[in-house]
Amino acid sequence: MTLSASQKEAIAGYAFILPIMSGFLLFLAFPVVASFFVSLADWNLINDPEFAGIGNYIQLFQDPFFWTCLKNTAYFSLFAVLFGMFLSLYLANLIHETKPKGASFFKSSLFLPVILSSVAVALVWQWLLDGQMGMINHLLNMVGLPSVPWLTSPAVALNSVILVAVWRQIGYNMVIFLAALANVPDELYEASSLDGASRFQTFWNVTWPLISPATFFIAVTSIINSFQVFDITTILTNGGPANSTNTLIMMIYQNGFQFFKMGYASGIAYVLFGIILIITAIQTIVSKRWVHS
């Protein structure tokens, strides 16, 4: 039996995608589907799973701790994304507009926190924000200001987490914004400048619409990432004080791998998945009105 050239090519094609497809089925497709079925059961991995219907979901929505974690996660995401995007766009635009000498130094400095592990970043900031011995309170006291209970007050801690998260993500967003800014044709700026537009007007009328695909991309990925915050809150505050920084992923971890409530943990994961899907869908619909294509 001889194969035609196109048959040979098809066989090669399937062979080439076989490794990624098997990994995809095993580690992505199967778990996503399985997660849903596990969420319909009570299962501690020792006894056989017991069908629970939507019991886990009902229990979840009645669990005040879930609402606390959801509120913390949403508050964190909203402000971390807003500040993270605003600052990174501001700085990217500043570098792009002024083309300062040493631009690569500024870029590298701003990018440095991105490459460090979030665990390490959280540890460094835990040291800086330490109530008694931390450098930040030390500096505040030096200029006559009182110490701030950065990590020990339920009213402050989540804001400190946001500060650290923003500090770590500015550089990442900035690099994407800079790439988008570099693609804006110079002629448009020239035209705008000839019309006598101010810098802000130029930004608003020329730059902003043209970089909107990048803005949209960052908005979507930042929201997805920030809803999954785990490393920073685990290290910096371990969810405390008084659960003021406990997040949804931490709740999944605690239920799944400390209490071995696999069904309940999967239920939380699916609710989180649903929330992210809804937010992304809303962003996509809204973006149709402002993203330049």
Partner 1 sequence: MSTLTVHKPLERAGAYILLSIFAFLMLAPLFWALLTALKPVGAVFDDPFGLSVDTWSLKSFTDVFKTTPFHIYMFNTLKITFFSVIGVVATSALAGYAFARLKFPGRDFLFMLLLATMMIPRQVTLVPTFILMKEFGLIDDHLSLILPGAISVFGMFLMRQFFITVPIDYEEAAKIDGAGVLRRFFQVILPFAGSTIATLVLLQVMAVWNDFLYPMVFLNSELNRTLTLGLAILRGDMDTQWNMLMAAVVISNLPILVAFLITQKFVIKGIATTGLKG
Residue 161 or 176 having the CB closest to partner 1:
176
List the one residue out of 122, 217, 120, 210 whose CA is nearest residue 172: 217
Structure-token match 């902003």, residue found: 208
Q: Which stretch binds partner 1 (CB under 8 A): 1-9, 52-60, 75-83, 151-159?
A: 1-9
What is the smallest separation between the CB atom of 57 and partner 1, expressed in angstroms? 15
Distance CA 126, CA 177 (A): 30
**Residue 257 sits in the site that holds partner 1 (CB under 8 A):** yes
What is the smallest separation between the CB atom of 154 and partner 1, expressed in angstroms? 21
Distance CA 225, CA 268 (A): 16
Residues 154-193 binding partner 1 (CB under 8 A) are 167, 170-172, 175-180, 183, 186, 189-190, 193
**Residue 208 sits in the site that holds partner 1 (CB under 8 A):** no
Residues 61-80 binding partner 1 (CB under 8 A) are none
What's the Rg (C-alpha) of the chain?
24
Q: Which stretch binds partner 1 (CB under 8 A): 55-63, 73-81, 151-159, 270-278?
A: 270-278
**Residue 292 sits in the site that holds partner 1 (CB under 8 A):** no
List the one residue from 3, 26, 54, 78 that touches partner 1 (CB under 8 A): 26
Per the DSSP assignment, residues forming a β-bridge with 267 are: none
**Residue 290 sits in the site that holds partner 1 (CB under 8 A):** no
Distance CA 234, CA 245 (A): 9
**Residue 59 sits in the site that holds partner 1 (CB under 8 A):** no
Q: Which stretch binds partner 1 (CB under 8 A): 11-19, 55-63, 66-74, 152-160?
A: 11-19
List the one residue from 68, 224, 283, 287 that touches partner 1 (CB under 8 A): 224
Residues 91-150 binding partner 1 (CB under 8 A) are 91, 94-100, 105-113, 115-120, 123-128, 130, 133, 135, 138
Residues 225-244 binding partner 1 (CB under 8 A) are 227-228, 230-231, 234-235
* 245: Cα within 13 Å, side-chain hemisphere: 29
Give the number of other Cβ atoms within 10 Å of residue 102's Cβ: 9
Structure-token match 């592990």, residue found: 117
* 49: Cα within 13 Å, side-chain hemisphere: 15
Residue 158 or 269 having the CB closest to partner 1:
269
